[in-house]
Amino acid sequence: MDTRPQENEAPSDLWSEAYKIPWHEKGFSRRMLAWHLSQDTDLASRRAERIDAHVAWIHETCLNRRPSNILDICCGPGLYLLRLTKLGHRGLGLDFGPASIEYATAQNPSPDVTFTLADVTTAEFGSGYDFAMMIYGEFNVFPPEAIRGVMRKANTALEPGGILTLEPQTLACVEAAGRAPGESSEHPDGGLFSDGPHSVIVTNRWDEGHRVSVSEYVVREDGGESRYRIVNQAYTQDEIGGILSSAGFSGIEFHASFGADDDDYFWTVTATKPE
């Protein structure tokens, strides 16, 4: 099916086909895991040094160093929750990348922590959490109605007084992604999209009307062609606040990136489920 972005696409069309790269596919997930773990790039997950700093901020600022029950929504290979486990916390990590969940499970030292393969738009989150988090920009990569649903489920899963920490992409970050020049690359020894030789052509588009960026990937291999896209919804801080309020949160605050002001592309947002 042709998933090429069309000019003036209606919002429902923007989100009607596959709107993410195939994180959930086995081979793609295996290849992506190498990017999550790489110390040469911050793609997919940040490098260890920055994750250590973020985890210290969460432990001190959000959890007040008290052993807590944590829900990590879109946990990837568990790089945050595994560190928090070592600081005495417990919890559940959810992700639909099979290689990520296998890695996190293999690294997990605690019987009080579980990593589960699940699509967070449909999974049950359970209840009794002191803290929930969604880290590294995934907030914007869901259709607005889907992220509203995920936020409502996070609110239900938290205990009264529980804290949510989110890391949405800034509006400028999403717009920059849409306005970035296209690029093409050759991967004779395999790459993210295939183990075999392939080429990738990326085109980007910023849809000012819907404040959405669309990146389309055309992957050519063995005379065949596959297409993928990433759709990112841009939000103002007020809009994010509105989504969180209608999901039942209060005390919504925007912080410099994990208190460190070292990343202009993401906002760190905290919110509380009222007592």
Ligand X SMILES: C[S@@+](CC[C@H](N)C(=O)[O-])C[C@H]1O[C@@H](n2cnc3c(N)ncnc32)[C@H](O)[C@@H]1O
Footprint of ligand X (CB under 6 A): 20, 23, 44-45, 74-76, 79, 94-97, 100, 119-121, 135-138
Q: Contact at 8 Å (CB) between 115 and 78?
A: yes
Beta strands 129-134 and 158-166 are parallel
Q: Which residues contact 200 (CB under 8 A, 6 or more apart)?
A: 184, 185, 187, 191, 193, 217, 218, 219, 220
Quote the least distance from Cβ 208 to ligand X, whole Å: 25
Minimal distance, residue 20 CB to ligand X, in Å? 6
- Which residue lies nearer to ligand X by CB, 146 or 201? 146
Residue with the CB atom nearest ligand X in the bound state? 76
Q: How many helices (H) and strands (E) does the chain have?
A: 8, 11
Q: What are phi and psi of 274, to 5 degrees?
A: -60, 145
Q: Rounded distance, CA 225 to CA 89, Å?
A: 45
Q: Strand pairing of 224-233 and 212-221? A: antiparallel
Residue number with CB closer to ligand X (28 or 249)? 28
What is the DSSP code (8-state) at residue 194?
B
Q: What minimum distance in Å lies between the beta carbon of 77 and ligand X?
A: 7
Pick 225 or 265: Cβ nearer ligand X: 265
CB under 8 Å to 63, separation ≥6 — which residues? 84, 89, 130, 131, 163
CB of 243 to ligand X, least distance (A): 17
In whole angstroms, the minimum distance from the beta carbon of 35 to ligand X comes to 9
CB 7 → ligand X: shortest distance, Å?
Answer: 27
Question: Would you say 225 or 257 has its CB closer to ligand X?
Answer: 257
b/e string for 47-75 if b means 16 or more Cβ within 10 A? eeebbebbbebbbebbbeeeebbbbbbbb
Q: Based on CB atoms, which residue is closest to ligand X, 136 or 267?
A: 136
Our CB check for ligand X shows the closer of 45 and 85 to be 45
Instruction: List 74's β-bridge partners, or say none.
Output: none
Return the amino acid letter for 271.
A
Residue 103 or 249 having the CB closest to ligand X = 103
Instruction: Name the minimum Å distance from CB 150 to ligand X.
Output: 8
